[in-house]
Amino acid sequence: MTYQFADLNGTKIHYEVQGQGTAVTLIHAGIADLRMWDDQMESFTAVHQTLRYDMRGWGQTPRPEGDFHHHDDLRTLLNHLGIEKTAVVGCSFGGKVAIDFALAYPEMVSALVLVGAALGGYEWTDEWLAAQDEAVEAAAARGDLAAAAELEAQIWFDGLTRTPDQVDPAIRQRAYGLSLHTLALPEEGGRPLRSEPAAIERLAEIQVPVAIFVGAHDVADIHAIANVLQSHCPLAQGITILHDTAHLPNMERPSTFNKLALNFLKKAAWCSTIYAILPHQSEVGAWVEETENGCTLPHITMAGTWDDFSGEKRQQRLRNKFGNVHVLYTAHFAEDEAAQTSTSVVVLENVGAVVGDGRWVNQQSLPSRTFTNPEHKRLIETSLQEWQTGIVPVLRPPWARPGWYARAASWIQETLQAQGTPVVKPLETVRNWCLSYVMRAQTSNGSFYFKTVADLPLFVNEAVVVAKLAQLFPEHILTPVAIHAEQDWMLIPELPQTVGWGAALQQRQRFMRQFVELQKTAVAHIGTLLDSGCHDRRLDWMQTQIEPLITAPYCQQDLTSAEIAELITLIPYLQNLLAELANAPIPQTLLHGDLHGGNVGIVEGKFIYFDWTDACISHPFFDMVDIFLRGIRPCKQNCAMPIWRNGRPLPPCPNCCKFGQWPR
């Protein structure tokens, strides 16, 4: 460790800076000092220039007389070190300072990681916490710093729902020691000034990605602050609850915290530029901005990857600049992983008045214009042609066409209103891409999700299929609140919990076993399921598709003659595998088609299966692929086989064992 001191702002700031790369600054909690980040330094400095320091009045940084702002101290330290921009990680009171710094010096902040953060202007309401704080002050006043530090450890390290013997004793001792050291520091010195207006009133000004971490056992007010931050910071990325931790999760679960925080910072380093094609309200025309070097499309720039802004966040940022617009579709997308940049062009509708230096162009005036990016000119030309003729690509989904959003939004609002659950907040776009469109409707009786999928041969009419599945398997399929069969629209209630992509193996085995029971029941309903729209993908049909697929020109276009010949030899081999699987005594039945933890929810202890876009009738083994294919020993994949065997011996079937991995 290479600790240093810097004479700045009338004090000597104690700090350490290590590593190369983009800068990250760590700000400690009020019950600790820079040592609370010991378990972060190795991981963080491997990829970032990492600064940690003792705030004025903590650790080894004295607090001389004179009023001050903590965020001004940080700015002065960064200037001293030549750091122009940094991501800021703040815990507890350090989180409050991080927020104040981002508001005071937004040009110096690339991202925020807030860990059990406090918040300027928030009114604390927890009576238990207030009583504990009074006990700490009383113990300190009578000189019993050990008792005061123990109380602090109980509040902030043990948390609300744990006793001292339920936490790691070594880490607890570290936290106790940090608190004891902090309590022993002299109280005299300068007074920190309040920021006015308070940060809680200015959160909408924070225009960088924000990650929010909270320990599951932390006090209620900290959880409430996290909800305020998530609701009011425009680029908040959601709240991550770290289980088995309280107020200092980076100390209790350093590996988990480091991984999550560094992954967030990696994404936040990206810069995404979104250009917009704005159509004229009443004429065939598009708005362009004029610069010294030529015309360009109007745009917004955001920190983060494209995936961070594929839904409501992107929509909201565009509305902040262009009014109550709606994204129809993405006309162009490109990314550069090395430079960590992405650019896209989106086509909007509902464009009102536009401001700025620019003009409307049409099919007559466009050719004479010079563009800084020739691709923009080509995209405008294509859009103008579509608007003039009304002819659009066949594969463009309905939601990418003018007027669709207004019709869908009206259906959602009218349907829920008729059922006595009126929508109380603006509809949120959760997903808008080429395959599906999802919106969230918040009502007086909870949230509901609207979904529709593209009209492609691969997909079913999900609204109709789900309605039928809910009739057949009501315990394990969400019953739609309403469907519009002709449009393939459906409204379903929000699931309180999903299993998630990273589910543990035992959890995957449990929901697979339950799903196999559902599949066994579905065998008796194959005719009904086919009539409802499930695709027929039974093995005899699949055998007929092998040769046409492999010999199709698009499958061979990038292959050498030798590779094509080798591929052709696979035709009889694959056909024989399917025939062998068809002859095995496992019946063909309902197939989800995309079964993984992200498409499984939990309600009252039962697994709920959703996202039935790929529903078909085929062999049940294919639904095991996403769950068990990679990195799982065959013996661990056997969870479903006893259900199919039902106590009966199975005949030898060496190749189909590769699909199902049951014991022979």
CATH code of the domain in which 295 resides: 3.90.79.10
Mean pLDDT value across the chain: 90
Does 589 fall in a domain?
Answer: yes
CA distance 87 to 302: 15
Strand partners, 451: 438, 490
Q: Which two tokens stand for residue 337?
A: 């992983």
Among candidate residues 183, 208, 226, the one where a domain is terminated: 183
Residues 215 and 71 in one domain: yes
Residues 648 and 520 in one domain: yes
Does 500 fall in a domain?
Answer: no
Residues 102 and 215 in one domain: yes
Among candidate residues 206, 233, 268, the one where a domain is terminated: 268
CATH code of the domain in which 469 resides: 3.30.200.20
pLDDT of residue 654: 53
Strand partners, 489: 484
Task: Give the residue from 195, 157, 197, 202 showing the smallest Cα distance to 176.
Answer: 157
pLDDT of residue 650: 57
Does 397 fall in a domain?
Answer: no
Does 14 fall in a domain?
Answer: yes
Angle at 225 between CA 221 and CA 227, to 5 degrees: 115
Q: Which residues of the chain have pLDDT under 70?
A: 1, 305-311, 355, 502, 626-642, 645-664
Q: Which two tokens stand for residue 646?
A: 């039902």
Residues 47 and 118 in one domain: yes
Residues 20 and 110 in one domain: yes
pLDDT of residue 520: 96
Among candidate residues 231, 252, 268, the one where a domain is terminated: 268
pLDDT of residue 483: 98
Residues 452 and 525 in one domain: no
In this structure, are residues 145 and 139 in contact, taking their beta carbons and an 8 Å threshold? Answer: yes
Residues 292 and 327 in one domain: yes
Residues 514 and 454 in one domain: no
Query: What domain range includes position 307?
Result: 271-392
Residue 418 sits at φ, ψ, to 5 deg, of -65, -25
Does 316 fall in a domain?
Answer: yes
Residue 180: alpha-carbon gap to chain centroid: 38
Q: Compute the radius of gyration of the chain from its Cα atoms.
A: 30
Does 263 fall in a domain?
Answer: yes
pLDDT of residue 659: 47
CATH code of the domain in which 16 resides: 3.40.50.1820
CATH code of the domain in which 550 resides: 3.90.1200
pLDDT of residue 632: 45
Residues 578 and 561 in one domain: yes
Task: Supply the pTM of this predicted model.
Answer: 0.70
Q: Which two tokens stand for residue 619?
A: 């062999």
Q: Which two tokens stand for residue 537?
A: 């993908």
Residues 328 and 443 in one domain: no
Does 627 fall in a domain?
Answer: yes
**Burial tier of 493 (Cβ tally within 10 Å: 0-12, 13-18, 19+):** middle
Q: How many angstroms separate the first and last alpha carbons of the chain?
A: 58
In this structure, are residues 133 and 124 in contact, taking their beta carbons and an 8 Å threshold? Answer: no
CA distance 84 to 159: 37
pLDDT of residue 53: 98
Does 580 fall in a domain?
Answer: yes
Q: Is the peptide bond before 197 cis (omega within 30 degrees of 0)?
A: yes
Structural domains of the chain, count: 5
Residues 469 and 388 in one domain: no
Among the residues of 462-525, which ranges form H helices? 462-472, 505-522
HEC string of 421-469?
CCECCCCEEEEECCCEEEEEEEEECEEEEEEEECCCCCCCCHHHHHHHH
Residues 311 and 380 in one domain: yes
In this structure, are residues 623 and 637 in contact, taking their beta carbons and an 8 Å threshold? Answer: no
